[in-house]
Every structure is written in structure tokens, then in C-alpha cells.
């Protein structure tokens, strides 16, 4: 439990309420700790905090276009890591067909986000039909496979040596954002019964990054029943009902969906834009001093970014201010758009991320220049 040094003050020309009634001709920048959960200060600048003319070195903001990578693999364990650290590994898996083996991840829980396509997912606990926009949380070491005759593209986020939990929802109550009753679990249904067999079956297991294999003379997905409170769960982004305020722009932490010990996964879904004329109407400039920020763009037009399309990823390491692009900021100030249409998955990590070679091959090198005034 941290006892932060806390002494709220107002100095110079500033607002008393964050993100509201900005002094004329100023740009607000929030400096915060613990990823919007800790103490913060809002500065008011006479120039945009992202108004650099050059940005050199490894700290630079980066963007990647994963649509340029079309490799299909028959095994999710073979999907290369795109970025990661000791607490998480982020992968993208493209697959079409029927997996002829089972897989287990003994290194941590896996979060699957079905960016494109879906299929039939079979696991120790039963059967789930999955579609575009589904999250599936697979507890560590769950055996599973996917049948996807039409193909699927899956963002995979590993909670390395960890588990996923639901975020605390505080004063808004447990049913806010999404009711836990919306979480579906696998069923021991007819489809699950039909896949049982005495056929020799292989299970590939990843442990400490290495893949091992076990062979059984039967299909190990042969449960006749189970009871307990540990199981895979499924949630579609369309079942998320975001917290909103027409008078105040809420921080990304208000959109938390899944939480691990060293990172958090948020989901941005369509919502009305703030209508109060005094309120900011898009993400404010901010310096998130303790977390790296990754955004995977799934659907729609991300209203604070230009030249970004579905299937792209942006990466903002901690240590520099970032925020809306100039054109997006101008559009928001005019209140030309009344609602957002984007869907995006955000991964905020407490520890710095490494970008690996498969990701670097898809980089858009001009991203750091996209904040320059036109």
C-alpha cells in the first residue's frame, strides 16, 4: 500500500477541474502515476505537447501494420512473439482448417481476441462457438484446439506466470461495464460429445518458451462432467457497455476489461462523444510515466488518430507525452463528430516492452512524424 505525497495545489493559470474549461489557447497535459490510478497533475501549455519537429532514438512512438503479415500456422504455439516482457507475450495467430492436435500453455493464462473469423473451440471444459469480436480467457495449461474452416485471425496476450482477473469496479458496482453473467463458459454439449474418439492424439505443451509433446492413444478431451469456479470464459466486445460522461472525458482505466498483476487490458467500444461545450472530447495529452501503452485497432476509425486502419498496432513507451493527432484534435474541438465508432484493444504494461523482429518487419517508420502540424 503506497502512501503517496499528496498536496493538491493550483498554480498560475489553470483549471480546478481536470479536462474541463481549459484556459483559452492552451493544451492540457496530464502527468500521472500508476496508469491513471495514482496521483496526477494537469499542466496547461501554450503549445501542443506533441509538437516536436524530430523524434530520434528508441523511445519514439511506433506503429505497425500487422495486415502485412499473412503467414498461416497450424499451431497457436508456433505464432511468433511480436512484443513482450517478463509479464506478457503478445502474438498474432492466423489459422484456417482443423487443428489435428491439442495445445496447452503451461507458461500462463492466454487471452484470445478474435479479430477476424471464428470457429469451434474445444477444450478440457467443453465446446464454445467463437465469432469475430470474442475474447476467450484460457486458464493456464488448459488443453484446447480450434476448428475454423473459414479462417481466423487471433490476437493472443499471454499473462506469463500469471492469471487474468476482472477489474475492481468500485462505486459503479459489479454489474457495470459488463455483468459477469455475460461471461459464457464451455458446454459439454452434443458437439463436444461428437468429437470424442479413441484416436491417437498429440498434445503440444509450451513451458518456459519451449514446446514439448505428449501422445495419448485416445482423445484427452473426454470429460463427462465438471464443477467448480475455474473455467475458460468468453465475452464479446458488443456486450461491453462503457462508462460514459457527457461532461468529462474518462481515462482509459475506466474501460478496463481484464487485469493481471503487471498489465491491464482495456477495450474501447463505440460511445457518444462528450457533449458539454466545456469538456474535452477526446483523449487528453498525457505522460503515463509508469506504463507502456499498446493499442490494437480492431474496427472502425480511431477518432484520435490519423492514417490508422484495422489490423494496425501503435506502441507508446513510457517517458514522453502523447495524445491526439492535430487534425483529430481540431475536429474534436469543433464537435463535428457526435459519437465514436472504433473498437480497439489496449494493453498497458507496468514493465517496458521489447519489440521483436517479426513485429519490426511491419513498422510504419513515419508514425513519429504524424503529429507534425500540416
286 is in an annotated binding site: yes
292 is in an annotated binding site: yes
127 is in an annotated binding site: no
Q: Bigger pLDDT: 33 or 160?
A: 160
pLDDT at residue 372, as a whole number: 80
* 33-42, 140-149, 361-370: least confidently modelled range: 33-42
Residue 31: CB atoms within 10 Å: 15
- Return d(Cα 145, Cα 168) in angstroms, integer: 31
Nearest to 31, CA basis, from 362, 221, 284: 284
- Return d(Cα 66, Cα 122) in angstroms, integer: 27
Cell 484493444 locates to: 345
Q: Is the pTM of this model over 0.85?
A: yes
Handedness of CA 359, 268, 260, 239 (dihedral sign): negative
* 100-104, 129-133, 247-251: least confidently modelled range: 247-251
CA distances from 332 to 216, 275, 303 (A): 59, 11, 8
Express each pLDDT in 209-246 by its tens digit: 999 999 999 999 999 999 999 999 999 999 999 999 99
For 59-97, letters b (16+ CB in 10 Å) and e give ebbbbbebeebeeeeebbbebebbbbbebbbbbbbbbee
- Return d(Cα 280, Cα 334) in angstroms, integer: 11
Express each pLDDT in 181-209 by its tens digit: 999 999 999 999 999 999 999 999 999 99
Provide the pLDDT confidence category of residue 6 given band limits of 50, 70 and 90. Answer: confident
Cell 497450424 locates to: 74
Residue 44: in which H helix or E strand, if any? strand 40-45
**Residues acting as catalytic residues:** 249
Q: Do domains 27-64+240-371 and 70-162+179-237 have the same CATH topology?
A: yes
pLDDT at residue 289, as a whole number: 86
Provide the pLDDT confidence category of residue 8 given band limits of 50, 70 and 90. Answer: confident
Which fold, 70-162+179-237? Jelly Rolls (2.60.120)
Helix (H, G, I), strand (E, B) or coil at 333: helix
**Whether 62 contacts 312, CB under 8 Å:** no
Provide the pLDDT confidence category of residue 370 given band limits of 50, 70 and 90. Answer: confident
The CATH number given to 27-64+240-371 is: 2.60.120.10
Residue 337: in which H helix or E strand, if any? none
What does the domain layout of the chain look like in residue ranges? 27-64+240-371, 70-162+179-237
- Return d(Cα 338, Cα 329) in angstroms, integer: 14
Amino acid at each position: 500500500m503506497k502512501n503517496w505525497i499528496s498536496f493538491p495545489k493550483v498554480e498560475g493559470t489553470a483549471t480546478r477541474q481536470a479536462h474541463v474549461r481549459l484556459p483559452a489557447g492552451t493544451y492540457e497535459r496530464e502527468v500521472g502515476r500508476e496508469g491513471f490510478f495514482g496521483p496526477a497533475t494537469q499542466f496547461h501549455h501554450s503549445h501542443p505537447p506533441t509538437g516536436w519537429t524530430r523524434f530520434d532514438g528508441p523511445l519514439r512512438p511506433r506503429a505497425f501494420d500487422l495486415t502485412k503479415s499473412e503467414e498461416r500456422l497450424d499451431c497457436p504455439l508456433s505464432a511468433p512473439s511480436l512484443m513482450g516482457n517478463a509479464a506478457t507475450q503478445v502474438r498474432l495467430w492466423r489459422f484456417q482448417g482443423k487443428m489435428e492436435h491439442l495445445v496447452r500453455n503451461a507458461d500462463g493464462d492466454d487471452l484470445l481476441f478474435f479479430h477476424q473469423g471464428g470457429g469451434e473451440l474445444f477444450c478440457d471444459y467443453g465446446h464454445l462457438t467463437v465469432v469475430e469480436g470474442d475474447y476467450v480467457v484460457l486458464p493456464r495449461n488448459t488443453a484446447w484446439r480450434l476448428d475454423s474452416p473459414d479462417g481466423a485471425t487471433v490476437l493472443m496476450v499471454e499473462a506469463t506466470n500469471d492469471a487474468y482477473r476482472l477489474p475492481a469496479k468500485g462505486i459503479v458496482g459489479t454489474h457495470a461495464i459488463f455483468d459477469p453473467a455475460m461471461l459464457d463458459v464451455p458446454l459439454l454439449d452434443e458437439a463436444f460429445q461428437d468429437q470424442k474418439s479413441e484416436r491417437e492424439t498429440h498434445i503440444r505443451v509450451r513451458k518456459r518458451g519451449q514446446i514439448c509433446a505428449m501422445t495419448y492413444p485416445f482423445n484427452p478431451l473426454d470429460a463427462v462432467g465438471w464443477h467448480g469456479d475455474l473455467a475458460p470464459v468468453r465475452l464479446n466486445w458488443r456486450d461491453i457497455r462503457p462508462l460514459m460522461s457527457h461532461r468529462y472525458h474518462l481515462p482509459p482505466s475506466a474501460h478496463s476489461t481484464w487485469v493481471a498483476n503487471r498489465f491491464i487490458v482495456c477495450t474501447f467500444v463505440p460511445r457518444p462523444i462528450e457533449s458539454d461545450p466545456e469538456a474535452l472530447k477526446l483523449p487528453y495529452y498525457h505522460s503515463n510515466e509508469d506504463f507502456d501503452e499498446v493499442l490494437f485497432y480492431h474496427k472502425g476509425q480511431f477518432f484520435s488518430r490519423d492514417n490508422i486502419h484495422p489490423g494496425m498496432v501503435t506502441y507508446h513507451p513510457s517517458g514522453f507525452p502523447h495524445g491526439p493527432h492535430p487534425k483529430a484534435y481540431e475536429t474534436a474541438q469543433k464537435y463535428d463528430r457526435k459519437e465514436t465508432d472504433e473498437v480497439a484493444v489496449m494493453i498497458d504494461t507496468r514493465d517496458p516492452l521489447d519489440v521483436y523482429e517479426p513485429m519490426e518487419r511491419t513498422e510504419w517508420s513515419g508514425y513519429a512524424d504524424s503529429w507534425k502540424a500540416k
